[in-house]
Amino acid sequence: MDKKPSSKVHLVQKNASLQHMHSFGMTVAADFLAILTSKNQLNDLQNNPLYQNNPHLILGGGSNVLFTRPFNGLVIKNSLKGIEIVRENDEHIWLKVGAGESWHAFVLFCVENQYAGIENLALIPGTMGAAPMQNIGAYGTEIKTVFSSLTAIDLSAGKEHQFNTNECEFGYRSSIFKTTLKNKMLICDVTLKLNKRIELNTSYAALDDYFTEHGINNLSLKKVCDAVIDIRQQKLPDPKKIGNAGSFFKNPYVSPNVFEKISSQHPNCPSFPGENHNLKIPAAWLIEQCGFKGKRFGDVGVHKLQPLVLVNYGNGTGSALKHLAEKIQQSVLEKFNILLEPEVNIY
Ligand code: FAD
Ligand code: NAP
């Protein structure tokens, strides 16, 4: 008799450690863990009482989550793989990518093949599936600029849905998957429309200055990608060496009136123009003004080079880190009357 490939989820573990599955690296466990390597496994899992009787949490690379307590439920780790050409013409190529593919490895793949549009997003940790979830962005580029569509499965009804750009409701480090559909839709694959005609974006001073300082000209996709990697490696802590989840807070946007009040007291307050005449203030600057840069509180702290990054020195707990985040919020609120919003997903 022919043996069909089984769609059974073999990897349901009980009382599974998540310590090495998230970049803060805290000691934390989940009641159950399932690792999905095919969409069929999700159908199978959904018929399992263990799935029906427990809350769910979707996990990719774990680089944007903070666990403040054990997860009493089922963690579904997305490891759906594959890269496929959907369509191609002289100007663009549409690539459909499995949600469990590494984002950074995909950026390198695109740069190597001269597909432009995401080179500024090099070295962002995590998976393809989580990238639209918070509309990842860096150095003036966001995933929404190359986004075409995605497929997601409704975790309660088990039905598959397609989402186009409008339906994703992309915003600044946000999308519908981080708001109303959070933990309700499991993103299975993402289709991106990359450019064959290369237009580079070096609008961020950090990038432009890098080329000037290093005497680099005749820019290419690879040179931009390499520069982004180098700048990030110099400034950001490597989660493999020191636990962190990148920027803990979003940069706040304020109205021109609010900004005027702040800058009358703090004339050196930096700002960047945003939508509807609002102004973006770097949260890192606000946190530094409150004296937190480089400060350590037990086994958690604020990074010495980038105060927007909160770190776990090794034995820090999720609740200690959350407490520090709240202390920072309170301090920024008192000094500037701005409430910082966490970017990291806190569980
Ligand atoms: P996870 O941390 O596993 O999950 C994040 C959230 O998405 C969770 O709520 C989870 O439930 C949900 N999720 C994950 N996968 C899916 C899925 N398949 N379907 C539905 N929901 C899902 N972010 C930026 O935007 N720009 C940066 O420049 C940047 N730099 C960073 C630098 C460092 C050093 C670190 C540690 C983080 C940085 N981040 C940055 C944050 C983070 O890397 C991104 O948000 C990344 O997209 C998270 O991917 P992940 O797979 O690790 O997601
Ligand atoms: P930076 O270059 O020191 O700039 C500080 C802040 O000013 C950034 O947060 C950026 O906002 C803003 N900014 C700078 N130049 C700008 C411009 N020309 N137009 C509009 N806004 C501008 O920042 P950094 O901390 O070293 O980070 C560099 C890039 O990597 C940033 O885009 C940042 O978002 C990204 N990054 C993100 C994370 C994360 O976890 N989300 C972690 C590390 C780095 P934006 O953040 O809105 O770009």
Q: What percent of the chain has pLDDT over 90?
A: 91
- Closest-CA residue, ligand 1 atom 9, reads 345
Contact call for residues 343 and 321 (beta carbons, < 8 A): no
Nearest-atom number in ligand 2 for the CA of 283 is 9
Residue nearest to atom 35 of ligand 2 (CA): 138
Residue 160 is a catalytic residue: no
CA dist., res. 183 & res. 57, Å (int): 6
> Does 305 contact ligand 2 (Cβ within 6 A)?
no
**What pLDDT is recorded for position 34?**
95
Known catalytic residue at 247: yes
Residue 4 binned pLDDT confidence (cut-offs 50, 70, 90): very low
Distance of CA 64 from the midpoint of ligand 1 (Å): 4
Split at pLDDT 50, 70, 90, the class of 2 is very low
CA atoms within a 13 Å half-sphere pointing along the CA-CB vector of 250: 17
Dihedral angle sign, alpha carbons of residues 72, 24, 64, 99: negative
Report, as an integer, the average pLDDT of 273-291. 95
pLDDT average, residue stretch 302-307: 96
Residue to probe by mutation, ligand 2, list 278, 280, 289, 311, most atoms within 8 Å of CB: 280
Options 79, 149, 173, 232, the catalytic residue? 173
Å from CA of 93 to ligand 2 middle: 28
The angle subtended at Cα 150 by Cα 57 and Cα 197, nearest 5°, is 130
Cβ of residue 246 lying under 6 Å from some atom of ligand 2:
yes
* pLDDT score recorded for residue 8: 54
> Which ligand is nearest to the Cα of residue 240, counting in written order?
1
* Closest ligand to residue 36's CA: 1
Residue-level pLDDT at 3 = 44
> What value does the CA radius of gyration of the chain take, rounded to a whole number of Å?
21
The DSSP call for residue 149 is E
235 lines ligand 2 (CB under 6 A): yes
Q: What is the pLDDT of residue 275?
A: 83
Query: Is the Cβ atom of 138 under 6 angstroms away from ligand 1?
Result: yes
**Does the C-beta of 34 come closer than 6 Å to ligand 1?**
no
Ligand nearest to the CA of 97: 1
DSSP assignment of 263-299 equals HHH-TT---EE-GGG-EE--HHHHHHHTT-TT-EETT
Please report which confidence band the pLDDT of residue 44 belongs to, taking 50, 70 and 90 as the band edges: confident
In angstroms, the CA 311 to CA 329 distance is 16
pLDDT at 1: 39
Q: How far apart are CA 29 and CA 70, in angstroms?
A: 5
Tokens of 340: 């910082």
Q: What does the pLDDT look like over 218-277, one tens digit per residue?
A: 999 999 999 999 999 999 999 999 999 999 999 999 999 999 999 999 999 999 998 889
- pLDDT at position 130 is 98
Please give the Cα distance from 161 to 150 (Å, whole number). Answer: 8
Q: How far is the CA of 214 from the centre of ligand 2 (A)?
A: 21
Q: What one-character DSSP code corresponds to residue 103?
A: H
Q: What percent of the chain has pLDDT over 70?
A: 97
Q: Which amino acid, residue 190?
A: V
* Closest ligand 2 atom number to CA of residue 134: 41
DSSP codes joined into one string, 231-261: HHHHHS--TTTSEEEEESBPPPEE-HHHHHH
**Per-residue pLDDT at 5 exceeds 70:** no
Q: What is the Cα–Cα distance from 196 to 110, expressed in whole angstroms?
A: 10
pLDDT number for residue 104: 98
For the record, the structure tokens of 114 come out as 């001269």
Question: What is the pLDDT confidence band of residue 11, given thresholds at 50, 70 and 90?
Answer: low
More confident call, 141 vs 43: 141
Q: How far apart are CA 247 and CA 239, in angstroms?
A: 12
- For the segment 316-335, the average pLDDT, to the nearest whole number, is 98
Cα(60) to centroid(ligand 1), Å: 7
pLDDT of residue 175: 98
pTM for this one?
0.95
Number of C-alpha atoms within 13 angstroms, CB side, residue 264?
6
Average pLDDT, the chain: 95
Residues 308 and 249: beta-carbon distance below 8 Å: yes
